[in-house]
Amino acid sequence: MNISVVIPLFNEEESLPELCAWIQKVMDENGFSYEIILVDDGSSDGSWPVIEQLSIAYSCIKGIKFQRNYGKSAALNEGFKAAKGEVVITMDADLQDSPDEIPELRKMIAEDGYDMVSGWKKKRYDSTLTKNIPSKFFNAVTRRMSKIPLHDFNCGLKAYKNKVIKSIEVYGEMHRYIPVLAKWAGFKKIGEKIVEHRPRKYGVTKFGWERFINGFLDLASIMFVGRFGKRPMHFFGSWGTACFFIGLLLSIYLIISKFVDPEYALTNRPAFFLALTLLLLGSQLFLVGFMGELIARNSPERNSYLVEKKLGI
Ligand code: UDP
Ligand code: MG
């Protein structure tokens, strides 16, 4: 099978028939073999009955329904598990992403050798203040921290080699950082394609301004977990040791100066409080690193790495 299209959706009943018809039109024009996986993230409207009808009418349309609303990341993750196509394309269900981009995205993965290609909504049709400006800032920070040169990390329209999506787990709200997850998993060829963006035709947006706060917290944790998740002691231990060591030097200095001038009260000196704080902070950090090491050691994924090739085994 050439292409799997994975579509997470939450209360998008009006858009689905139009979206599926459009995707089918593009696929048939290009002669691709394909499947459309609609993941209903616990919709409370008529989305699931619509999916049932669509899947009866077309065998290439498949559905997954969640018991309740778990979020876009969970929906993508479940869709990824089911996807069988060589190229996997994700898009939003609200008709803001255009299926006309599919042939070019597929070509970049299947022929130009990209591991993943992210859409870039260069001209955006969302309200400027609440989305576009924070999103520019958000993308700039993510770009700097992850060193992946993308303009639009959170674009719903993306394409992947099948093995990329089978190698990553999208949890929490990490759908914003799939390029970062892919990079940590060792996939280096990450490309970008300017895609057409359209105004939302039906329904309402499912994400408010909280997305930016949560987004930055997620970025902090993803960068930390990616670098130190399997060796927390290297992070906490080094800072802890540095703090403790400086505190120790200060204490030695204070003790010596007490011998030199026994009249001078230690508790009147700022260095005393600094030394105390550093010693305590240092040992705390060290302990946190130690606890982290114990947790990492007990994690079933402590040895999760990807073997790319084997010879004679
Ligand atoms: N979505 C989802 N679960 C959620 C929220 C959103 O599956 O909890 C889907 C939604 O139906 C849409 C896509 O994720 O297909 C993007 O959401 P939306 O269009 O609301 O985001 P925006 O375009 O406003 O950033
Ligand atoms: Mg949208």
Q: How confident is the model at residue 51 (pLDDT cuts 50, 70, 90)?
A: very high
C-beta of 8 in contact with ligand 1 (< 6 A): yes
Nearest to 118 by CA among 180, 27, 200: 180
Taking the model in full, what pTM does it have? 0.87
Nearest to 3 by CA among 106, 107, 100, 124: 106
Displacement of CA 86 from its chain's centroid (Å): 22
Separation of 289 CA from ligand 1 center, angstroms? 37
What average pLDDT does range 197-219 have in this prediction?
86
Q: How confident is the model at residue 28 (pLDDT cuts 50, 70, 90)?
A: very high
Single-letter residue type at 239: W
C-beta of 69 in contact with ligand 1 (< 6 A): yes
The answer to whether domain 3-228 has CATH 3.30.70.1290 is: no
Separation of 249 CA from ligand 2 center, angstroms? 57
Q: Which ligand is closest in space to the CA of residue 204?
A: 1
Residue 258: in which H helix or E strand, if any?
helix 232-260
Residues 6 or more apart whose CB falls under 8 angstroms from that of 249 comprise: none
At residue 128, the pLDDT reads 67
CA 112 – CA 104 distance, rounded (Å): 10
Q: Which ligand is closest in space to the CA of residue 43?
A: 1
pLDDT in tens, 238-278: 999 999 999 999 999 999 999 998 888 888 899 999 999 99
In terms of pLDDT, which residue wins out, 218 or 7? 7
Separation of 207 CA from ligand 1 center, angstroms? 7
Q: How confident is the model at residue 208 (pLDDT cuts 50, 70, 90)?
A: confident
User: 101 near 193, Cβ under 8 Å?
Assistant: yes
pLDDT in tens, 90-132: 999 999 999 999 999 999 999 999 999 999 999 888 776 777 7
Q: How confident is the model at residue 53 (pLDDT cuts 50, 70, 90)?
A: very high
In terms of pLDDT, which residue wins out, 281 or 130? 281
C-beta of 74 in contact with ligand 1 (< 6 A): no
Q: Which ligand is closest in space to the CA of residue 207?
A: 1
What does the angle CA 20 – CA 24 – CA 25 come to, to the nearest 5 degrees?
120
Three-state secondary structure call for residue 98 = coil
CA 40 – CA 10 distance, rounded (Å): 6
Query: Tokens 């002691």 label which residue?
Result: 233
Task: Report the percent of the chain where pLDDT is more than 70.
Answer: 100
Separation of 10 CA from ligand 1 center, angstroms? 6
